[in-house]
Amino acid sequence: MTLTTPHAAPERRRRRLPVGFEILLAVVVVALVQSFVVKPFGVPSQSMEETLRIGDRIVVNRTDSTVERGDVVVFSHGENWQDARLRPTGNVVKDAVRKVGDVTGIGPSSSAYTVKRVIGMPGDRVRCCDSQGHVVVNGDALDEDYVFEDHEFRPSDLTCETSPRSSRCFPEIRVPSDRLLVLGDHRSQSADSVVNCRGGTEAEGCARFVPMNRVVGPVVFRIWPLSTFGFVNQR
């Protein structure tokens, strides 16, 4: 009798998803992560040196809705801090790309973003300076070892009492409810909440604030350059 080898059962091939569907799925995953978990940003200016430098790529934690004094945060705005959104460009393609960015978190969007350090919380009274040139919040001088290249202040002959006054000085500002007062770590190169108040003696209308609902989240990590890869120094 001749024995025969039974035919092996044919292997089942795994069905691959269409390439277009795979790309769409990847975009959806990225969009969900950036909308609800973490979002990357590039640092375009020197206003947060030496904590953050031009060209750094940072990651913001979108799951943390708490904000405390000393946090480095990213917030959204329009052409100025009062506007919630950028004005339409009038170019159909560019505006459509922005809308896609709003939904996916990828590419240009209808918002601009800025990174600063929180100094004043809602209801705080913030001024500068005490006799040693420190920022004072609710009567207490802050110890800010992160400040880089502050405005000139000399206890001997250039203070808030001399004429001319030091440009580091600004009058006492009361932070409104649901708002934050933010400053850059590179104080002399930062267009921040008190940029229009420095050197003045009247606080009325000079400060600009960040609505708390525009805060994207705290900066938690630097992913580029690799030489500084790691957690960002917070308060």
Amino acid code (one letter) for 136 = V
Lowest mean pLDDT among 98-112, 132-146, 168-182, 218-232: 98-112
- 123 Rama sector, left if φ>0, alpha if ψ -120 to 50, beta otherwise: left
Tokens for 76?
């959204």
Mean pLDDT value across residues 4-29: 54
- pTM, entire model: 0.84
CA 83 to chain centre: 16
Give the alpha-carbon dihedral of 116, 118, 124, 128, to 10 degrees.
Answer: -60
Encoded tokens for 111: 């918002």
Judge whether residue 30 has pLDDT over 60. no
> For the chain, what are the domain ranges?
40-235
Q: In the 8-state DSSP scheme, what is residue 178? A: T
- Homologous superfamily assigned to 40-235: Umud Fragment, subunit A (2.10.109.10)
Tens digit of each residue's pLDDT (9 = 90 or more) over 50-79: 999 999 999 999 888 899 999 999 999 999
